[in-house]
Chains A and B, each alone.
Chain A
């Protein structure tokens, strides 16, 4: 069967890895917020779209190349996240998880519909990078390659930040033992603001790269947040590298399902995985205590 040729398989694998890296970048941010603040930000994918729309605006009105717009969009969304954490999210830290979920659900509704009001529901994209790189019989889409590689670099950069820098270690300390961290003189509230801002900035970066690959509308967030949940729950909540591996895995599975089935089935993968995992392992989630 032509489908099972090694070239096709390799092509699907590479496409999956690249898309998966993007998912990983996105999911890592969500995971970080959960790990450090015990808050589930269901609006996370909307911040990705925020980045995407900002990049789109810069492209359409100022002719800025999406890769360049990263330098504007990421700091901008970082700032927005910083402020939002201080004004809104802080109030639901420490309350039951469901409370933060409801609050961020409210934020998500506001953002999606604000987006619909401003941009309408038609699909946008930034077709800046076109074409494919051909290696032998393999054709790798250029925008996907760039997006994927960048995503890996950014995720890795954040990982290094958390592992090596002092500030990063402070973030990890807060994630593991918030009370002990306070005693050690860490300004836990600032760390939370930093974490949230960093996470949504990562999402925005993923959004910028998204513009080169997909067409998106304000409703696109719904699909991506489900993917994030699936990734995090499989990879282990609060486990940074787990989210990375989970993202890549999802990307690959989607690529293969899409390759052998239809794209619609590929889209359904995340939902099915999420529902399946939640149902089969309701309590034994990696790294997750029974937090109410």
Chain B
């Protein structure tokens, strides 16, 4: 829709605006923006695996929760907040390798269901390991350990930018082309030399890293975590809807989707979280039935070359 230069220019403007926000905005709006940026990060992460490769995950909150707990456990031990952030990302990364190895052998809906199951296994696991995690009561962090709101904001900002840059880099690279080929027809992709196992795993690991980091930042921002919140269906639902509504597999779709979902949250979440989620369910259903390509599909026009016009061989309609 926009030329490459226009896209980059608007992105740059956006980045500058977001960078100076803390100087201008009060706590409420800064808080809102922090959460918005987290949503963007999560959406782009989900996009990396589900949008780009077509392996739709119903349980990516697993990595978000793992990152949260990693940070929540390390912070009281005196580990500096930025190291906790890295730890969160690394824990998610470390887990994603064996998990991806196992789940990526499954196709389509079975992968989705397996991820959903893993999400619940993670939740139950954390709940049962009471000695370490405090079980269902969760972990509360004392305020003096926590970084300031501004720090959290900038961290989340960097994570969101990183996530978007990752998606953009993949999108324009040979790796991205291979992922798209996998999404279209994995067997044929294998047949033209694409190492599908390696590519899928790489995408999966990249998609786990960001939620791990974001989860770590979130717990340091809210000062509390419990299994229900860390591995919440709401996290999964929002990830899925943001990306599918915005445009799965695109660079800007997830950003649009995140904006929309956060906008809806502002209206509904405080009073009626259930209403917000219900609306997301309606959105998801609508997208699946009527607009599978999401919003971005409305904006992109495919270049069509009509065969009669092009200098091609004379075609009789073939089979």
Contacts and interface: CB of A to CB of B under 8 A. Distances in A.
Interface of A: 40, 42, 88, 91-92, 96-103, 105-110, 112-114, 116-117, 222, 226, 229, 264-265, 267-268, 271-272, 274-275, 278-279, 282-283, 290-292
Given A102-B244, A278-B113, 17 more contacts: A88-B289, A92-B288, A98-B108, A101-B112, A102-B56, A106-B282, A107-B281, A108-B281, A109-B278, A109-B280, A114-B274, A117-B275, A117-B278, A226-B120, A272-B121, A275-B121, A282-B105
B260 to A, nearest CB: 16
A106 B282 CA distance: 6
A112 B284 CA distance: 14
Contacts of B240: 102, 105
Interface in B287-317: 288-289, 292
A278 B104 CA distance: 11
B103 interface: yes
Contacts, number: 111
Given A99-B288, A275-B118, A105 B278 contact: no
A105 B284 contact: yes
Given A264-B124, A278-B117, A292-B107, A110 B289 contact: no
Contacts of A268: 121, 124, 128
17 contacts: A91-B289, A92-B288, A98-B112, A102-B240, A102-B288, A105-B284, A107-B281, A108-B281, A117-B275, A268-B121, A271-B121, A275-B118, A278-B110, A278-B114, A279-B103, A279-B114, A282-B110
Contacts of A88: 285, 289
**Chain A interface, >50% SS class:** helix
B58 A222 contact: no
B102 interface: yes
A114 B272 CA distance: 11
A275 B117 contact: yes
B233 interface: yes
A101 B109 contact: yes
Interface in B87-134: 102-103, 105-110, 112-114, 116-118, 120-121, 124, 127-128
A291 B110 CA distance: 10
Interface residue tally on B, bucketed by range: 35 or more
Nearest to A230: B117
A189 B160 CA distance: 46
Interface string B215-252: 00000000000000000010001001000100000000
B277 interface: yes
A22 B120 CA distance: 22
A264 B127 contact: yes
The 3 nearest A-B residue pairs measured at CB: A109-B281, A106-B285, A113-B278
Find the residue from B109, B121, B282 having the highest chain A CB count within 10 A. Answer: B109
Contact of B117 (A108, A116, A274): A274
A271 B59 CA distance: 13
Contact of B58 (A105, A265, A274, A275): A105
Interface string B3-47: 000000000000000000000000000000000000000000000
A98 B56 contact: yes
A117 B106 contact: no
Contacts of A101: 108-109, 112-113
A264 B280 CA distance: 31
Contacts of B116: 226
B267 to A, nearest CB: 15
A99 B293 CA distance: 12
A109 B108 contact: no
Contact of A264 (B128, B237, B281): B128
A106 B110 contact: no
Contact of A117 (B118, B272, B284): B272
B285 A40 contact: no
Nearest to B272: A117
A265 B108 CA distance: 29
A243 to B, nearest CB: 16
Contacts of B108: 96-98, 101, 291-292
Contacts of A226: 116-117, 120
A278 B106 contact: yes
A103 B285 contact: yes
A113 B289 CA distance: 20
Contact of B120 (A222, A279, A292): A222
A271 B274 contact: no
Contacts of B244: 102
A275 B114 contact: yes
A247 B19 CA distance: 56
Given A102-B288, A222-B233, A292-B107, A110 B117 contact: no
A106 to B, nearest CB: 3
B109 A97 contact: yes
Most chain A beta-carbon neighbours within 10 Å: one of B105, B106, B272, B289: B289
Nearest to A118: B274
Contact of B109 (A98, A106, A110, A279): A98
Contacts of B107: 290, 292
A112 B236 CA distance: 15
A33 B33 CA distance: 44
Given A264-B128, A275-B118, A107 B285 contact: yes
Nearest to A267: B124
A120 B110 CA distance: 32
Nearest to A91: B289
Given A40-B109, A116-B274, A282-B105, A106 B281 contact: yes
